[in-house]
Homo-oligomer: A and B are copies of this chain.
Amino acid sequence: MANFGFSHLTVVAPYEPHWREAKSAVGASDLLQNAQRTESLAEAVADCTLVVGTGTLEHRKPEQTVVALPDLAPRINMELVRGGRIALVFGPEKRGLTRDDLALCHLLVEIPTDPRQPSMNLGQAVAVCLYELATRTLLSSAETIESTASSGANSTAPASPGDSACARDLDLVAEVVEATMEAANYSPAAMQKANRHDLDLLLRRLELTQPDARRILGLFRRILWRLKR
């Protein structure tokens, strides 16, 4: 991260003894000292408007759009121009991101690797992704490049009021919609987790703006209030 000028690292639910002893490379101690720490991925990406998941997708059929890393720049640039905040999310080395982690991502990026040896070392995957972002997106011309990694890395454009809804907005919508489905007896309680998963995916696929999110939220609050009367 320091090699490519990224500085915002968030670590999600780290294994305590390892985290306490984590040491940075020479010259990158600020990055590790300033790292944020959260208990969930949802918290880590709460203020982000574009959440990009990474990983090898060989064994699963992804539910989101998958973009090859060399083709990622235009999507990143669009978000930067809008004034959005971008998170790049990496899973633990051995098992990668879970299906529920991926449901919090707007899109997935895949490093094009040889099919005979698709799975990369985590540190090398991070280096390759950040090299691509630092050299082929508008980040490369920005005066300051910032970033967070977790099991997530997150890069930020100069702060400005974003047009896209951030993850926190989407979570709020999802909660109210979920409560409404429950109040309306929409589906059996056993289906609640699966429905929420589909809802998370849907809300991200829609690429809502903040006004969209506010409007949907208002509508569902109204419905919920009526249902509970």
Q: A residues bordering B, Cβ < 8 Å?
A: 2-5, 25, 27-28, 69-70, 111-114, 116-121, 123-125, 127-128, 131-132, 134-136, 145
15 A-B Cβ contacts within 8 A?
A2-B114, A2-B116, A3-B114, A3-B119, A4-B114, A5-B114, A5-B116, A27-B116, A69-B131, A112-B134, A112-B135, A121-B127, A125-B127, A127-B127, A127-B128
In the A-B complex, the 6 residue pairs with the smallest Cβ-Cβ separation, listed nearest first, are A2-B117, A124-B127, A5-B114, A3-B113, A128-B131, A70-B135
CA A4 to CA B113, docked complex, whole Å: 5
How many identical chains are in the complex? 2
- Check if B121 sits within 8 Å of A25, measured CB to CB: yes
Since A5-B116, A127-B128 are in contact, a sample of 7 more A-B pairs with Cβ atoms closer than 8 Å, ordered by chain A residue number, is A3-B113, A27-B117, A28-B117, A70-B135, A70-B136, A120-B127, A128-B128
